[in-house]
Structures are given as C-alpha cells and as structure tokens.
Chains A and B, each alone.
Chain A
C-alpha cells in the first residue's frame, strides 16, 4: 500500500468571476445599443469607396427594393406621429389614434394611401409577412405620385431632414429615375440627396 495517497481535490470551479464578466458584457450591450426597428424589406446596397458615414438623426429614407417597390421612412417617433397626422388631415383617411401610434413605432411604409388604414390594422408582427405593394411613384407630378406627398410633408415636419435613397443594386434604373425625378422639384427642393452604399476597399493607386 502506497504511503502517500493523492489528496482528493475538489473539481468545483468558482464561477463568481465568470458571472462578473458576463454581466459586464450584458450591461455594455444594454447601454450601447438600441432596438432595431423591425425591417420589412431587405435591400442589398451597391458598394462604393465612399466612406462618409450616414447621419443618425434627421433623415428621410426612401427605400427602393429589387422589384422596384418604394418605401418611405423617417426617424424619430414624435416626428413620425406628426407626419402621419398631417397626412391623415390632407388625405382625409380617418385614421384612429391607435393606428397613428402604430405608424409611429412601425417600420418603413410601403402602401398607397387608400390601403394605409387596413395596413395599420394588421396585428403587430404581421407587417413582415404582409407584401406591401410600394408607394405609387409616377414620373408626372399628378396626384397619383404619392411619394411626392410623403416627402413634401416630411420636409414640413422636419426641415432639417436629409433625403437618403437606399436602393437595391439590382433595382432597374427607370425605378430609381422615377424617385430622383420626383425629388427634383421646387416644392421639395430635393436636388441634393445621398445614396446609401456599402463600403468597398479603394482600388485607387496611390499617386506618388
């Protein structure tokens, strides 16, 4: 029989340090991020070498997906609330307070005015599965060009808002051109706007 037996050591690890680390990480994520608004349209933007970052607030976003559907979005819940009440008054849609609140917290809007009421009646979360037809955008500035109305009221509600176009790289040029020509109008003065792109490494040769 061996004189010295191996002492039985405990295999239990003290987990206090691990919990400290995990709660620190958790606190970081809780404070440094904010909830993403539910996206109802996926867009793959083209790439460019431009690295100017997009502004965080005061933007008016016009989204064009690969099929050419046009969506409109603004940031800031009070701004969206004001926007929808102005649209409600102008178009006499008869939206209820609850519907307008739903608009203010919801994602980008992509339905014509006459379908807005039924769209806002959808239960929360159904908005993703609902196939929005897109906002009508004609090249002629008649009443059928609803994008013009959205942008015009967006300008009134937030004069500082920058117009940003987020287009899918496979969107056909005529659809993009419709949006651009809608903006080129003295009433909304959308001559200057930005295009959202993803970052691409610069292949420019450095000049000696």
Chain B
C-alpha cells in the first residue's frame, strides 16, 4: 500500500479559509484620507476683521454643482462657472492680489457661501481647491438674502440662454 496522501482537498480548504479572511476583515491601517478643517465660528468674531474688498473673492455654491462668483464683498452682478472653471478664477484673483503693491503673497481672501441647494461634495471640492491653489485665508459663511435674490435672477437668465 502506498503511504502517499493526496493533499488536494487540504489545499482547497486552505484557499477557502483565505477567501473568508480576505472578505471579512480589513487591513489594520485603513487608507481613508482626511481634510483638516479648522473651523472657528461661535463666540469668536465671525467676520474677518477689516478686510479690504479688493483682495476678496466671493464664491457662492449653488445647485447642480454651479459656482457663482464675484470680486469684493458685495455683488453688483454674479458670474457663474463650475468646479473645473473655478480654479482659473481663483488663480487669476491670486495673481491680481499678488501684483498689488500693498498686498503681495498669501493675502488673497476667499469667502465661501454654500447655499441650501448645494451638496457636501461641492463644499469638499472647494476646500480642496483652497489647498491645491494654496489659499491660506478663507472662511465659510451663510449666504445673504440679497445674494439669494441675485441668484434667482441669475438662474432665470441661465435657463433662458440655454433654451
């Protein structure tokens, strides 16, 4: 009688166990990434103290991933783009502020105003753009009623253009 044992079923068993462990466990250091978002609202003064309107870019996050923007703290009219176009807008503003003699590097301020119609992805994408474009001063504040009214007319115009 031969003493050789056929090991094929043993290998099958071992691979079944491997598959079980592969599917029901996670590697101990998960690869999830994170954005650090230090937010300081509340008792501290929410408005940045005395920012000159000439170095401010305001972005309003609207619905359907649209971003409306204008320069300064108060809007005469709104222009709109999407998340791909906003990078150029930010870079242009940054270049303008750096060229101004009274400001220089790292002085561009971006005010981000998410509306109730925007989604979380819009917010994270904009924060990402802050990091990509190296904007050091930015803040998230609520939208003003005047801006909401402007937004409504802006949306109507955009719809009429698309027709």
A residues lining the B interface (CB < 8 Å):
12, 15-16, 18-19, 22-23, 25-26, 29-30, 32-36, 45-54, 56, 64, 164, 167-177, 180-181, 184-186, 191-200, 202-204
B5 smallest CB distance to A (angstroms): 9
Residue of A nearest to B14 (CB): A22
**Tally of A-B residue pairs with Cβ under 8 A?**
163
**8 Å CB interface, B82-129 against A:** 114-125, 127-128
Kindly report which residue of chain B lies nearest to residue A22, judged by CB atoms.
B14
Known contacts A25-B18, A51-B33; decide if A33 and B124 are in contact (CB<8 Å): no
Please tell me if the beta carbons of A29 and B25 are within 8 angstroms of each other in the complex: yes
List A contacts of B18 (CB < 8 A).
22, 25-26, 29
Give the interface residue-count category, chain B. 35 or more
Residues B120 and A167 in contact, CB atoms below 8 Å apart: yes
- A191–B34 contact, CB under 8 A? no
Bound CA–CA A16/B115 (angstroms): 65
On chain B, the residues within 8 Å of A194 by CB distance are: 34-37
Cβ-defined partner of A54 (8 Å) among B25, B32, B128 = B32
Residue among B29, B120, B125 with most chain A CB within 10 A: B120
- Residue in contact with A22 in the complex, picked from B11, B30, B31, B120, CB distance below 8 Å: B11
Contact flags B123-143 to A (C-beta < 8 A → 1, else 0): 111011001100000000000
B76 at the interface (CB under 8 A from A): no
Inter-chain pairs besides A173-B117, A197-B33, A197-B34, 6 sampled, C-beta below 8 Å = A12-B4, A19-B14, A26-B21, A29-B25, A48-B125, A50-B128
A81 to B27, CA, bound (A): 25
> With contacts A36-B24, A49-B132, A173-B115 known, is A168 near B120, CB below 8 A?
yes
A177 to B31, CA, bound (A): 26
| Chain A positions within 8 Å of B128 at CB level | 48-50, 197, 200
A19 contacts B10, C-beta separation under 8 Å: yes
How many Å lie between the Cα of A164 and that of B37 in the bound state? Answer: 10
Selecting from B38-46, B47-55, B66-74, B155-163, the interface stretch reads B38-46
A39 to B6, CA, bound (A): 41
B124 touches A16 (CB 8 A): no
- A-B pairs, top 5 by smallest CB distance, nearest first, are A33-B25, A169-B121, A15-B7, A22-B14, A29-B21
Q: Is the CB of B33 within 8 A of A54?
A: yes
